[in-house]
Structure 1
Amino acid sequence: MKITSLEPARCVPEPDAGIGALRTERGNLPLESVDVHATISGLVAGVEVAQGFRNPFDVTLEATYVFPLPDRAAVTAFRMEADDRVVEGVLKERGQARADYDRALREGRRAAIAEEDRPDVFTIRVGNILPGERVTVRLTLSQPLPYEDGAATFRFPLVVAPRYIPGEPIDGEPAGSGAAPDTDAVPDASRITPPVLLPGFPNPVRLSLSARIDAAGLELRELASSLHVVEEEGDIVRLRAGERLDRDFILRMSFAASTSLQFDGAGTFALFVVPPELEADRQPRDLVLLLDRSGSMAGWKMVAARRAAARIVDTLTPRDRFAVLAFDSVVEEAFEGLAEGSDRNRYRAVEHLARVDARGGTELLEPLRRAIGLLDGEQGRERVLVLVTDGQVGNEDHILELTGGALSAMRVHTVGIDRAVNAGFLSRLAGLGAGRSELVESEDRLDAAMEQIHRRIGAPMVTDLSLKDLDVEPGTVTRLGSIFPGVPLRVYGRCRGGSSVTVRGLASGAPWEERVPGTVADSPALRAVWARAHLRELEDRYAMGERELEREIVRVSLEHGVLCRFTAYVAVDSRPAAEGGPEHRVIQPVELPSGWETPAAPMAFGLTAMAGPAPGAIAPAVARMSSAGFDDLDVPDFLAGGAAGPRGPVSGRPAGMPRGPMSARPAPAPRATRGLDTVRVQLVAELDRLKALHAPNALYLADLGSRLAALSAYLGGHAELSALARELESAERPGTDPESLRQRAIEVLTALTGGPPPGNPGDARRPFWKRP
């Protein structure tokens, strides 16, 4: 694989900058600032995020930034501002949005695209930034605020933490530009593993964050920020200057809420029910506690996790049975099977927990399977699973697919311990079991968090919930779950009519109901929040194997204008700004989360996620250049300088990227066994060029035939490619119809690349972001 190196004069490594950092005479690159402005009204927040990019080079640039957003947030608008141009983004099916973006770059136009890779991990690419130019992209989103025990929490994540990437590396074009190779368990690992700066990098991204608070009729009693220093100016809370993007921003607002039902006037409703004051006879429990002891839990997180686990064990009674499993790449049990919750067994479990220390990788699937097996017991006992972890795994969908059905039949609670926790995945797990996801960002926060977990582990106050007197649209109501002590019920849905609702259920086996009158709220965020919650449920069902839901997910996303995993926002300038595509590409390095230890060599945990050059080395992900012709394509060596014009460099992993023993790619397969995926990117590029032809050209078609023949030879022979190549190579013969050949080539290449065949856009081979 040939790599084009950056010219030394173009950018100089910062001696102590760390993994992924570069310095030029004009400053760092490419992300310059992140500005977050939130407007909190009651229990809903509207947020605008502005990301400022700058090109310090003397060539055009494409910048990639992998960043988090709140997992419940609904992204409803996207805008690009450059020079004197303001371009509004359009929400499209993801494949179409990518095609529009790539085409715009080839034509020299500015463009930006926003994609969701996880419920809380997103990627923005901004292309054709001119030398010295600044470009701002803006995201608009709405999110509900969780409310427990008289307090609502506004949590805004600011960094994507490194994630453990299990599985074997796979061949083919990487899905993204990150530090980890794609694997069979995480086929898009390279999209969620941005390069990481060493702690204390002297020139961080400029961060500003403010929140305007409107209690919306509720009595605001107290404000508290747990991880950042803030300043108050009237009804605005502002982050102190100089704070870094290395931990979540968390603002807690204490006020009293009430039972309510809100309509937005367009058929969306939000129901909020506080728990009744009831005493319920609790069933005996079978409880399995899973404690993450992987390397990413080192330091204060391991101490807090042990304390949290011990507190959970202390809630058990002799009527209960329990098991304690500590896991990294292996699973260790405190004792065999389920043990009685006696004083002696609880003491043994706490003693075992005291010896647990951080090591290894986060192999979560096997302990979950073992816990499910332990909880597959007798009837009449409440089955509870509690997971204590930072959740930093990359194979979330794979885990949900293999365990989601079983987990939905038990109560699942998650305790996320980190300053940049994987909240999206932990809330998805808890949502499957109608449980609670509690996020602990510091040891000081642990006691308050565990008080809420203790109540949640107890029996629900009201079960078997249903709604009456409201004409709801089938399939639109979010999960009802159960009502637990101190934890209000929140339900979103769509309805055709009604002015009130009656919530029914069983409390201690006896019928219970409460009537809630409705009010009309002039809030566009209500519909967005419902759509995001509905989409998240559909996406979780998709991850668990219901693949036929893909069209429904796309339909809901486009109809309600809310970004999801199968759609993307794309903003394309109509005016050309450059000649051809970007000449340099870079992925923005991110901060190491606060409290994480500095990586040395590839770490024992998440080797692939943390692999990178030694301090002072040029970031691997930025050593990518392209020129005319095959822009950013992984062209086989023997095609270098081929028919498409001057060849840009290979877009695979650049030289200088060290790998741990778990992350090394296997040697190239023999030609006879190479799969079509290894040339799919080239075929897509050829297809785009064919579609863009204004008039069929016999010479171009013949040249295309020669390139396809070479690709077929590279694969060791491919019948369909070879046949199409022979047809196209005859384009210059007298009497040949070039337009028919062009249409024939479009049809074959569309089928080979997995694109939708003409007239049937739904039948497509799944691209990488849709693979389980």
Structure 2
Amino acid sequence: MVNCGCGLLTANKEPVPLKSVDVEVAVRDHVATVSATLLYENGEQSPIEAVFIFPLPGDAAVCHFSAKIGQSEVVAEVREKQKAREEYDDALSSGQQAFLLEESEQSPDVFSLSVGSLPPGESASIRLEYVTELAVQADDGLRFCLPAVLNPRYQPRGEDGGGGTLSCGPGTSVPASLVPYSLTLSASVCSPRPIDKVESNCSLDPVQYLDQQQTRATVKLASGHKFDRDVELLLYYKDAHLPTAVVEAGRPSATPGSLMGDPVVMLSLYPEFSPLAMSSMTKSGEFLFVIDRSGSMDCPMGTAGPSQMRIDSAKETLLLLLKSLPIGCHFNIYSFGSSYTHIFPNSVVYSQKTMDEALKEIKGMKANMEGTEILEPLKHIFKQPCIPSQPRQLFVFTDGEVCFSFGIGEGASTALINGLAKEGGGHAQFISGADRMQPKVMQSLRYALQPAVVDISVTWDVPEGVSVTPLSPPITNLFQGQRSLIYGQLTGQSWGDAEGCVTVKYSLAGQPTQNQLRFSLQPTEDTGLTAHRLGARALICSLEAESKEQGDQSDGVKAKEKAIEVSIQSGVSSSLTAFIAVNKGSGEAVQGDDDDEPKFKVCSTNGIIFINENVCTKAQVEKDCASFESADEPSQAPKDPMLQLVSLQRASGSWLLESPLATALGKTLQEVESSKPESVSPEVWATVLAVTWLHGFKMDAQVEWEFLAMKAVSWLHGEKVPCLTECLRAGNLLLGCQVQESSMGM
């Protein structure tokens, strides 16, 4: 795979040396404001025309973008795209220096900015600021990612008159390792709840807490860091699942009644499901696994240091998923590259026979299917009729360099990762180079097995004279432990110390349920219009989707016009607008009202997702693991003891008492057989030992084996073992564990 460079390029596609990157991150609860300054220098003997290319994190909205060359600085404003292009052309033809910033035609998570003529020996300082929501990870951490590389973006087959290609838009490949430059990054964190810890995939200086409650802290990237990988920060708060609400005052200079003139409320909700409902995990479903086998999957997960190959990580994860599926469900596995294949003609019932067949196929999978053409297999999947009473769940494994995909590794496109997650009613997980894929994918499986939530509605209760205009699209899916963000515009007279209330109602396991959050309507003044900008971005995305869906019809035209209006008013860019800045030659910065700071909506990051077809249609889709051996070939099982043990589990959830099992447990077969209680069958004894070993030695990886262990315990109880307590005691003695009876469901 080629790492497509990001940064400043000449008209001849040559990189302009990047001297330094300085980044400041201000995190307030679950939202981050990022300021980045990038310094370039023209070391040539003649002026160069340069283009700035850069990726941003998922769902970011730029609130400032400027370029300074010599003593001249220009700050961009947002215009309707065609008007911006015309203004840019007029400026160039009249000899003025102009800057045009717009989304790449190939991918909305890449933007380019022409910075005009850069004189010899001159430097160019490019500054951008953006706000972004922090994604919630499987372990409840909030993730901030600063992308370092920009991988090729996929162009669907036929759009260029030929086959599917990989394109970097206006730039070419500039490996980060060939352009040495420094990165400084500092972050300040403020939260209403104590900050438990801050972690990173890069070296950090010690966290400095600024108060005794540990609600405010600062942290810095260790000096000397080379920006050769994505920089990831993981923030952990105590009581992370408590709902929060922020009411943000509008811009004083804006017209009351407008989006930027009125207050905006930003709600963060975490639905709480009853233990009874959560205990009824579904036993049905059609599970479809789509794995990328293009050449780019034969690359390491990360760009710095040794890491697992992407294809091997995906195969390893498929092993855990297959072992965790419930008996009676249906499944199938698709592979794609330049073409696509599937293991079974149609989805089949999950059994020992079909599981063994699938594992044999997975074992031989290689990243040898050339290109990356995912649209055709998705079309095929959604043309298939759904199986009655088997909700379809789709898992896509890819490095993200394709349309309509979800991925693995660093630098991949995720303009569509979060989009497809929202359209499909699923859940996105983000994966960095050092991460194990398995825990995050198994978290998605947990979501897929949760009882279906239906009839979701959101209602507002506010004082008389106050109204709420939703800025977010309707909530289409809810999962236990998953955050839902809601934005609303508050219109009306001043309300002093009054309160509002939002209620989320839904039906779960046949029972009507609701969660409420009361919040103060008193606006917070000093928030930097973060909620307004994120709310505007949410509204623009909804309007763009409506415009595409309706096309040239009246409603589509109105949605397009409204999206452009909101984009210009708020300064949040869209696919319908662009940034334009013209230096009139006065030597002074040309810019608009300070309050009209430009924005730019982009998406970027890597991830894995499952899609629930209860709410995902074919039209929506078109819009937007180490090698191991199957149970019948145990002699070449994976070297990792846990994966070796997992690979030996039968579809029913049980294990057989054989030499490979004893090896995985670190014992000889004779030791295992001689310790078996007389009244226990070999299969029961083997299964008890396997579950005991997992609980005794692999609790740190519990999220990976939890479901297959639950299946094993269910099988044991189905066997009506009369002496399970005695069996567990013998297992603890043999393995040197102290596993409690509760682990066996007793």
Alignment match, 1:194? 171
1-structure distance, mates of 2:89, 2:397: 42
Q: Out of 209, 212, 237, which is 2:188 matched to?
A: 212
Residue 39 in structure 1 maps to residue 26 in structure 2: yes
Alignment match, 2:612? none
Structure 1 residues 94 and 184: CA distance shift in structure 2, 3 A: farther
1:342-401 CA-to-partner distances (Å, cap 9, x unmatched) read 233223223321211102111011111122123x324433221111111202xx4xx6xx
2-structure distance, mates of 1:107, 1:52: 28
Task: Indicate the SS of the match to 1:112.
Answer: strand
> Which 10-residue stretch deviates more, 216-225 or 56-65?
56-65
Q: Out of 348, 367, 372, which is 1:358 matched to?
A: 367
Alignment match, 2:134? 145
- Please give the residue correspondences for 1:77-96 in structure 2 after superposition, counting only pairs within 5 Å: 77-96=64-83
Shift of 1:245: 4.1
Q: Which amino acid aligns with 1:247?
A: R
Alignment match, 2:103? 116
Q: Out of 207, 212, 231, which is 2:205 matched to?
A: 231
- Please give the residue correspondences for 1:133-282 in structure 2 after superposition, counting only pairs within 5 Å: 133-148=122-137, 149-167=139-157, 170=160, 183=161, 192=169, 194-197=171-174, 200-201=177-178, 203-214=179-190, 216-226=191-201, 228-232=202-206, 234=208, 235-255=217-237, 256-257=239-240, 258-265=242-249, 266-278=262-274, 279-280=277-278, 281-282=280-281
Alignment match, 1:719? none
2-structure distance, mates of 1:542, 1:184: 27
Alignment match, 2:121? 132
Shift of 1:290: 0.6
- The normalised TM-score by structure 1 is 0.63
Higher RCO (CA < 8 A, seq sep 6+): 1
1:410-448 CA-to-partner distances (Å, cap 9, x unmatched) read xxxx75211112222111111111211112223643233
Task: Indicate the SS of the match to 1:347.
Answer: helix
Structure 1 residues 254 and 350: CA distance shift in structure 2, 3 A: farther
- Please give the residue correspondences for 1:578-727 in structure 2 after superposition, counting only pairs within 5 Å: none
> Which 10-residue stretch deviates more, 310-319 or 323-332?
310-319
Structure 1 residues 439 and 488: CA distance shift in structure 2, 3 A: same
Task: Indicate the SS of the match to 1:377.
Answer: coil
User: Is the 2:9–2:52 Cα contact (8 Å) retained in structure 1?
Assistant: no
2-structure distance, mates of 1:267, 1:230: 37
User: Is the 1:58–1:132 Cα contact (8 Å) retained in structure 2?
Assistant: yes
**How many aligned positions are there?**
526
2-structure distance, mates of 1:514, 1:22: 51
Alignment match, 2:356? 347
1:647-697 CA-to-partner distances (Å, cap 9, x unmatched) read xxxxxxxxxxxxxxxxxxxxxxxxxxxxxxxxxxxxxxxxxxxxxxxxxxx
Shift of 1:543: 5.0
- Please give the residue correspondences for 1:426-465 in structure 2 after superposition, counting only pairs within 5 Å: 426-442=417-433, 444-460=435-451, 462-465=453-456
Residue 384 in structure 1 maps to residue 361 in structure 2: no
Task: Indicate the SS of the match to 1:231.
Answer: coil
Structure 1 residues 230 and 107: CA distance shift in structure 2, 3 A: farther
2-structure distance, mates of 1:59, 1:367: 50
* Structure 1 gap ranges (5+): 1-16, 171-182, 400-413, 578-592, 595-772
Structure 1 residues 261 and 54: CA distance shift in structure 2, 3 A: same
User: Is the 2:154–2:167 Cα contact (8 Å) retained in structure 1?
Assistant: no
2-structure distance, mates of 1:208, 1:80: 20
User: Is the 1:293–1:326 Cα contact (8 Å) retained in structure 2?
Assistant: yes
Structure 1 residues 304 and 74: CA distance shift in structure 2, 3 A: same
Q: Out of 537, 540, 544, which is 1:539 matched to?
A: 544
* Percent identity (aligned): 26
Task: Indicate the SS of the match to 1:575.
Answer: coil
* Structure 2 gap ranges (5+): 209-216, 250-261, 300-308, 493-498, 588-604, 607-746
User: Is the 1:46–1:140 Cα contact (8 Å) retained in structure 2?
Assistant: yes
Task: Indicate the SS of the match to 1:556.
Answer: helix
User: Is the 1:97–1:570 Cα contact (8 Å) retained in structure 2?
Assistant: yes
Task: Indicate the SS of the match to 1:103.
Answer: helix
> Which 10-residue stretch deviates more, 141-150 or 457-466?
457-466
User: Is the 1:38–1:212 Cα contact (8 Å) retained in structure 2?
Assistant: yes
1:564-588 CA-to-partner distances (Å, cap 9, x unmatched) read 12212222222168xxxxxxxxxxx
User: Is the 2:149–2:410 Cα contact (8 Å) retained in structure 1?
Assistant: no
Structure 1 residues 545 and 355: CA distance shift in structure 2, 3 A: farther
Alignment match, 1:567? 577
Task: Indicate the SS of the match to 2:51.
Answer: strand
Structure 1 residues 368 and 461: CA distance shift in structure 2, 3 A: closer
Q: Which amino acid aligns with 2:54?
A: F
Q: Which amino acid aligns with 1:160?
A: L
1-structure distance, mates of 2:9, 2:268: 49
2-structure distance, mates of 1:18, 1:225: 23
Alignment match, 2:51? 64
Q: Which amino acid aligns with 1:109?
A: Q
Structure 1 residues 84 and 295: CA distance shift in structure 2, 3 A: same
1-structure distance, mates of 2:455, 2:7: 52
Structure 1 residues 474 and 213: CA distance shift in structure 2, 3 A: closer
1:232-265 CA-to-partner distances (Å, cap 9, x unmatched) read 4623333344444443221111113211232213
Alignment match, 1:647? none
1:156-200 CA-to-partner distances (Å, cap 9, x unmatched) read 222210234443585xxxxxxxxxxxx56889x766262213574
Task: Indicate the SS of the match to 2:345.
Answer: coil
2-structure distance, mates of 1:443, 1:264: 37
User: Is the 2:406–2:416 Cα contact (8 Å) retained in structure 1?
Assistant: no
Task: Indicate the SS of the match to 1:431.
Answer: helix
Task: Indicate the SS of the match to 1:385.
Answer: strand
User: Is the 2:271–2:515 Cα contact (8 Å) retained in structure 1?
Assistant: no
Q: Which amino acid aligns with 2:95?
A: G
User: Is the 2:397–2:407 Cα contact (8 Å) retained in structure 1?
Assistant: yes
Structure 1 residues 65 and 543: CA distance shift in structure 2, 3 A: farther
1-structure distance, mates of 2:159, 2:539: 34
Q: Which amino acid aligns with 2:30?
A: L
User: Is the 1:470–1:495 Cα contact (8 Å) retained in structure 2?
Assistant: no
CA RMSD of aligned residues (A): 3.2
Q: Which amino acid aligns with 2:140?
A: G
Task: Indicate the SS of the match to 1:222.
Answer: strand
2-structure distance, mates of 1:68, 1:20: 9
Shift of 1:133: 1.6
2-structure distance, mates of 1:206, 1:28: 16
1:493-546 CA-to-partner distances (Å, cap 9, x unmatched) read 334367111111112111111220113444210111112223233334445564
Q: Which amino acid aligns with 2:320?
A: R
1-structure distance, mates of 2:469, 2:389: 31
Task: Indicate the SS of the match to 1:423.
Answer: coil
1-structure distance, mates of 2:474, 2:324: 27
1-structure distance, mates of 2:406, 2:448: 12
Task: Indicate the SS of the match to 2:219.
Answer: strand
1-structure distance, mates of 2:142, 2:575: 28
Shift of 1:559: 1.8
Shift of 1:465: 1.6
Q: Out of 315, 319, 334, which is 1:310 matched to?
A: 319
User: Is the 1:163–1:193 Cα contact (8 Å) retained in structure 2?
Assistant: no
2-structure distance, mates of 1:18, 1:145: 25
Structure 1 residues 29 and 294: CA distance shift in structure 2, 3 A: same
2-structure distance, mates of 1:244, 1:104: 38
